[in-house]
Structure 1
């Protein structure tokens, strides 16, 4: 299955390294994380090419050029790095370790588990502080159920775009594909907002990110359905039904798939009406009819389902290595 771009063995090393080591703090206190470095480039491009005096048409053209330039540059850099690393002794090992920086299995688990721990140890105030680190909605307006739903939603959505998507593109296109995807995904998170400043400029990044995440979001839903077969108390049939019924109702073309799958598997209702920056967003429920009064125990159940889905994904990568 390998080619000049695809290196499943290196990707398997990346998946294992991220699961075991996560993001080593000692390293990133000395070197910028790749996503932080990408973010610095995007912030510069936003200042340089998104002027308040520009017309919407000019902003949109600038945003298209920035998105295309980011993806092309990241892909080219990934190609050069991959070739250089594979030329070294134990090349797949070094390539795998670099790839692992673009996957977020362990860090996502830690951030979401922090919300559950904060609720358990410090109550609602602690939960609000912890969840504010991973979601964009107004934490002061959230009760315990709202904090818990936000954590479960973030876990499901980021399973797709933080783990499944980079691994998917890594299997297809190696490090170049992973780095290009991360550049696009970071651009969407920074400039893909429907605000007066970024509605036109971030349009290309947002639309391209939707397309880049489309296969991974469907795959992530399937992985969560399969994971429900392995978890006591989870319901794979309900997860599948929730995906079929509710996933396409979500405002995002991708987020509804893993959110509906996780909610259906655990008998929960997530998404729904919520407040961003003081504005009520009347979104539909994922797994409408499920229990919406969530608590820390539900976050823990979501984390258990998440790790089982990650394990199934790792097995799929092992199969790809075996085919190779």
Structure 2
């Protein structure tokens, strides 16, 4: 048992895999009462999590730690979207409640509203500066990790909340989701992808009109999210009638000619490329020139095929 716990803590997936083959129980707890799955959650170790969940039939995802938290509750608190998604994919229950009667959605709302840096400082008790680093996840999106001493949190809570709401039958307003993405000025942040996809899933003309209205916004980030919602709505529409194709072309063709922000130009160009309208071809060279000059030289840019990748990762297509 001790060797298994030590391997999980060390992130030794090969060792854990071998011990599982030899009959080790993945559902044990350490000396603090922490389940092995929760240890992987606390380490943000999705590879270890996947290894443990290979024996999902032997793992109780509702087993609580000494604080009365399931692995999913702990993952929501720590704020890494990929860890949360991995647990949900294996059947972690959204309805389970913590000691204060909060289910997964209530916890996501609670932690979304907390000041992460202040929480890191409070739990650490240390005087030093909070360290920040960008985390590139398994999906094309990013979040930040804030740490001080041994205390670590990640900034994906807004994305987690945006994902959980429709799972629980909640549809936040367009304006509420807009405010969430604009609170994260880095367009690579996971909440940008979640909000775009979740709004696009609605196939709602009211959402379409709200996104289209952002074309006239002064803030290029507002124009970018508007363009992303529109193109994603059309991209994910699989109906034979393709009802969004024509309106998208009518809106994007004049927009791409006048747009000055390269991120928005990329979104508009990608949206036009996804249509089969012959009017589109004359407008593409400008978009491609912008991409060549500003986007493609950025080796770490996740723009190309971004939404296709995230949709595939999340199982939407």
User: Is the pair's TM-score, using the shorter chain for normalization, greater than 0.5?
Assistant: no
Q: Which has the larger radius of gyration?
A: 2
Higher relative contact order (CA 8 A, sep 6+): 1
TM-score scaled by length of structure 1? 0.25
More helix by share: 1
- For normalisation by structure 2, the TM-score amounts to 0.25
